[in-house]
Amino acid sequence: MKTLIAYTSRYGTSEKVAHLLAARLSGNVHVQNLVDEPDVDWATVDHVIVGGSIRMGKVQDELTDWLKQNEVQLLERPLGLYLCAGTPTAAERQRELEGAYGEHLRAHAYFVEVVGSGYDFERMGFLDKAIVRMMAKQTVSSLNLDEARLNELVESAQASLRTRSEKP
Torsion angles phi and psi, residue 139, rounded to 5? -125, -10
Please give the pLDDT value at position 164.
Answer: 61
Please give the pLDDT value at position 79.
Answer: 98
Please give the pLDDT value at position 110.
Answer: 96
Q: Where are the chain's structural domains? A: 2-166
DSSP H helices in the chain: 13-24, 61-69, 71-75, 90-100, 103-108, 126-135, 147-166
Say if CB 149 and CB 113 are below 8 A apart: yes
Among 93, 96, 89, 86, CA closest to 136: 86
Please give the pLDDT value at position 146.
Answer: 85
Please give the pLDDT value at position 161.
Answer: 76
Q: Per-block average pLDDT, block size 10, for the chain (168 residues)? A: 91 92 95 97 96 85 97 97 83 89 96 83 70 68 80 91 60
User: What's the CATH number of domain 2-166, 1.10.10.60, 3.30.465.10, 3.40.50.360, 3.40.920.10?
Assistant: 3.40.50.360
What is the C-alpha separation between 109 and 45, in angstroms, rounded? 16
